[in-house]
Amino acid sequence: MQMVAALAAIWLASFFHTGEIKLLLALLLSLAATIGSDFLFARLRGKPFFFPSAAMVSGIIIALLVSPWYQIFLTGLLAMLAKNFLRVGDRHIFNPAAFGLLAGGIILGQNISWWGVSWQQLTNYPLALFILLIPFLISALRMRRYFIQLAFLSLIILFGASLLDPALLFFVAVLLPEPMTTPAKPIVQLAFGVIVALLSLIPYFPDPLLFALLASNMLFFKR
C-alpha cells in the first residue's frame, strides 16, 4: 500500500500536468481490469478473498505507461493472467505489470508510451522529478532491493544511459525491484541487476527494458 500511495502521487502529478479528464477514466479502467481479473482468476484457482494491493500497483503502473483504452484493458488482463497462472509453487515467475505491458504491446503492435513519467525532466519540472523518486524509499529501503538497483544503474550508465532519464528512473524504482520476482540475497541481487542491464542493451525487442526484466525473472525465478 505504500507503493500504491507513491504511484498515486506520480499519477496525480501527471494528471495535473496534462489536465485531461480522460486520464482519470483510463486509471479507473486500468484498476477495474487488474483488480477485477485478479479476483476472478484467484477464485478460479480456489483462493480465498484478499485485499488486491498488488493488482492496484499494477493498475496504476499500466495507467501511467499506456494510453489507448483497449491497450490498457488488455494489458491489465494479461498482467493478472501472468500473476495467477504463470507460477512455480506459491510464486509467480514474471513481474505482472511488465508482462502485461510487453505482451499487450506485442499483440497490438504498439510500443509502450511511458507518457506518465517521460515528461518529468529535472530542468523543467524538478518537483515532479522529486515525486518520481519517492518509490525508491520503498523499493530500495523497505523492500531491500538496492543491490539490484545499484548494479543495474552502474552498468547502464557505464554504457551511456542518463541518470536523469525519468522513464529509466521509474523503471528502476518501481518495475525492476518487484519483490516476488527478484532475489532476496545481496550477491544474487547484484547478478540479477547486471543481467537485466546487459539484456536491456539488446535493441531487437519492442521494449528492451521490459524484455530484459522478464527474461531475468525467468532465469532467476528459483532464487
Are the beta carbons of 166 and 119 closer than 8 angstroms?
yes
pLDDT number for residue 49: 84
The span from the CA of 154 to the CA of 27, in Å, is 33
pLDDT at residue 28, as a whole number: 97
91 burial type by CB count under 10 A (0-12 exposed, 13-18 middle, 19+ buried): exposed
Residues 6 or more apart whose Cβ sits within 8 Å of residue 92: 82, 83, 84, 86, 180, 181
* pLDDT, one tens digit for every residue, the chain (223 residues): 999 999 999 999 999 998 889 999 999 999 999 999 999 999 999 988 889 999 999 999 999 999 888 999 999 999 999 999 999 888 899 999 999 999 999 999 888 889 999 888 887 888 888 999 999 999 999 999 999 999 999 999 999 989 889 999 999 999 999 999 999 999 999 999 999 999 999 877 779 999 999 999 999 988 7
pTM of this structure? 0.94
Q: Name the amino acid, one letter, at 173.
A: A
